[in-house]
């Protein structure tokens, strides 16, 4: 297996060209909401395809685009007509981190597998298949003006870089009443290597009271301690405990990366968020794209952050 830390491998990926996978790769995992098995295949795609989800059971394609997001309550869900695919955010985060631009994601169900509730399995699959450049320059979405959205005291904001900095900076803080979570903050500069070591393994989490409410509503039927951290005030219900002592804010940051990659290009700018979630992340992208003075699509705002390692 090639490694994200293998320098000769990384050297092939420095030129800022569009990327796809070297070969298809499949996996089966449980869907969080249905509790049923989902088969997912990541397939190399032609340059300029973008990331496209393909419901092979329906024969319908759903492009990974912010303006096709139709539900954000428990995950980020995109749809075309009645065809939907949910829980796209963890795969999208891994694709953003590695800088994959073109890919067909086949699924035979209305959601992606949840795996362990983090992006680790997706990153492992991408890494195992291998990433190649296949022509055309990857664009960046350069933020030119600050855009901010708010909701009930929470906010999400994208700001332009200062001093000619490049790449995607994310500063996030969260605050929960549950004492096991409390207040946490994390600052991250997106790169494939740092994503792999600091963010990819952070799992989604939920409060014990919410689990019971969801079950009663027939949702999260596939949810278990194997794919989420469950918190009961000061207690972590998972016998293995946490993977990082601030795993919660790291996972929320993972969600930001995935949700914002629905912009359709790597972001060059700074994200600042407080208690943000899928709904607010999507609202932010819609606000950015509402006014063309807020951004430009460019091929010169990409730094090397999207290379996989410092070669």
In whole angstroms, the minimum distance from the beta carbon of 122 to Zn ion comes to 12
Between 255 and 303, CB nearer to Zn ion: 255
Using CA atoms of 69, 72, 77, 79 in order, give the dihedral in degrees to the nearest 10.
-40
**Segment 239 to 258, residues that bind Zn ion, using CB under 5 A:** 255
In whole angstroms, the minimum distance from the beta carbon of 86 to Zn ion comes to 11
Q: Which stretch binds Zn ion (CB under 5 A): 61-69, 122-130, 179-187, 199-207?
A: 199-207
Calpha distance 21→150 (Å, rounded)? 37
Q: Which of 33, 134, 161, 278 is catalytic?
A: 278
Calpha distance 163→17 (Å, rounded)? 25
Between 143 and 200, CB nearer to Zn ion: 200
Between 140 and 253, CB nearer to Zn ion: 253
Helix (H, G, I), strand (E, B) or coil at 205: strand
Closest by CA to 254, choosing from 117, 63, 115, is: 117
189 is catalytic: no
Binding status of residue 76 toward Zn ion by CB under 5 A: no
Binding status of residue 204 toward Zn ion by CB under 5 A: yes
Q: Which stretch binds Zn ion (CB under 5 A): 11-19, 119-127, 202-210, 222-230?
A: 202-210
Between 45 and 119, CB nearer to Zn ion: 119
User: Strand pairing partners for 61?
Assistant: 54
Calpha distance 202→229 (Å, rounded)? 9
In whole angstroms, the minimum distance from the beta carbon of 259 to Zn ion comes to 9
- Cβ atoms of 111 and 223 closer than 8 Å: no
In whole angstroms, the minimum distance from the beta carbon of 205 to Zn ion comes to 9
**Segment 38 to 57, residues that bind Zn ion, using CB under 5 A:** none
Q: Contact residues for Zn ion (CB under 5 A)?
A: 204, 255
* Residues designated as active site: 278
């Amino acid at each position: 297996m090639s490694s994200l830390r293998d320098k000769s491998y990384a050297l092939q990926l420095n030129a800022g060209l569009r990327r796809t996978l070297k070969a298809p790769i499949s996996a089966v995992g449980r869907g969080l909401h249905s509790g049923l098995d989902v088969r997912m295949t990541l397939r190399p795609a032609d340059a300029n395809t973008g990331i496209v989800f393909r419901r092979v059971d329906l024969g319908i394609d759903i492009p990974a685009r912010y303006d096709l997001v139709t539900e954000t309550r428990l995950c980020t869900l995109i749809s075309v007509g009645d065809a939907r695919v949910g829980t796209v955010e963890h795969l999208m985060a891994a694709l953003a981190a590695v800088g994959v631009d073109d890919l067909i994601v086949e699924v035979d169900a209305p959601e992606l597998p949840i795996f362990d509730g983090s992006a680790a399995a997706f990153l492992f699959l991408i890494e195992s298949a291998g990433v190649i450049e296949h022509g055309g320059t990857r664009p960046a979405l350069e933020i030119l003006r600050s855009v901010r959205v708010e909701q009930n005291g929470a906010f999400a904001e994208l700001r332009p870089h200062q001093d000619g900095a490049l790449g995607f900076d994310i500063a996030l803080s969260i605050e929960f009443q549950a004492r096991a979570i409390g207040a946490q903050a994390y600052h991250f500069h997106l790169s494939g290597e740092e994503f792999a070591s600091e963010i990819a393994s952070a799992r989604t989490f939920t409060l014990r009271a919410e689990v019971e409410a969801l079950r009663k509503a027939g949702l999260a039927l596939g949810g278990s301690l194997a794919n989420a951290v469950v918190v009961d005030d000061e207690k972590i219900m998972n016998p293995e405990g946490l993977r990082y002592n601030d795993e919660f804010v790291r996972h929320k940051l993972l969600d930001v990366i995935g949700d914002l990659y629905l912009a359709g290009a790597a972001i060059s700018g700074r994200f600042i968020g407080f208690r943000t979630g899928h709904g607010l992340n999507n609202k932010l992208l819609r606000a950015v794209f509402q006014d063309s003075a807020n951004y430009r699509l460019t091929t010169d705002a990409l730094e090397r952050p999207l290379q996989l390692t410092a070669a």
